[in-house]
Amino acid sequence: MSPFSVTRLAGLLLLGLLMALPQSGQAANDPLKSLNWLAGQWVGREGPTRTEQHFMKPGDGVMLGMRRSMSPVRGADTEFMRIVAERDGSVTYYGQPLGSSTVIAYKLVESGDNMAVFANTDIAYPQRIVFNRYGGNVVAALEGPDGNGGIRRFRWTWQRAGDAP
């Protein structure tokens, strides 16, 4: 082999090894990697109310998010969120609804392709936060007991409006 082809072969091998490494900020075994489908900008409308939901891509075990709903009747409300890969290997959704200083934790209890369910049965409502992706849409639901033996459920459908940072 000529020196040129040995150098070229070594370069190709190095390139292959570099491509096999995890991307910066995204460890290969990051438990949030399976939630990458939720990252993006999502917009929905229920009657006169417009809702925007934004989730950043997972990075170093954290996904940051925020939601804003704007209603001509109720005004705006917001929520700040983060999904965290905990040291024990579990995944937790932390939400601060309606601009509250109180942070509520929900553990990931079920997940699959384009689906995630977070739960906290220690609170009255909502006890579950469910996300499902269907093509270019995400359906989100808040679920919990209605006080009469049934389930109270609110659902939103959001369309993809852009990529996430």
pLDDT in tens, 41-62: 999 999 999 999 999 999 999 9
Q: What is the DSSP track for 115-151?
A: EEEEE-TTSSS--EEEEEEETTEEEEEEEEE-SSSSE
pLDDT in tens, 67-81: 999 999 988 999 999
Give pLDDT, residue 25: 43
Q: Is the distance from CB of 149 to CB of 122 less than 8 angstroms?
A: no
Percent of the chain with pLDDT over 90: 73
Give pLDDT, residue 98: 82
Q: Say if residue 84's pLDDT is above 60.
A: yes
Q: Is the distance from CB of 51 to CB of 41 less than 8 angstroms?
A: no
Read off the pLDDT band of 24 (50, 70, 90): very low
Amino acid in the structure at residue 7: T
Query: Mean pLDDT, the chain, as a whole number?
Result: 85
* E strand segments, the chain: 40-46, 49-55, 62-71, 75-85, 91-97, 104-112, 115-119, 128-134, 137-145, 151-162
Give pLDDT, residue 30: 78
Amino acid in the structure at residue 96: Q
Domains and CATH numbers, the chain: 26-162 (2.40.128.20)
Which residue(s) pair with 68 in the sheet? 52, 78
Radius of gyration of the chain (CA): 20
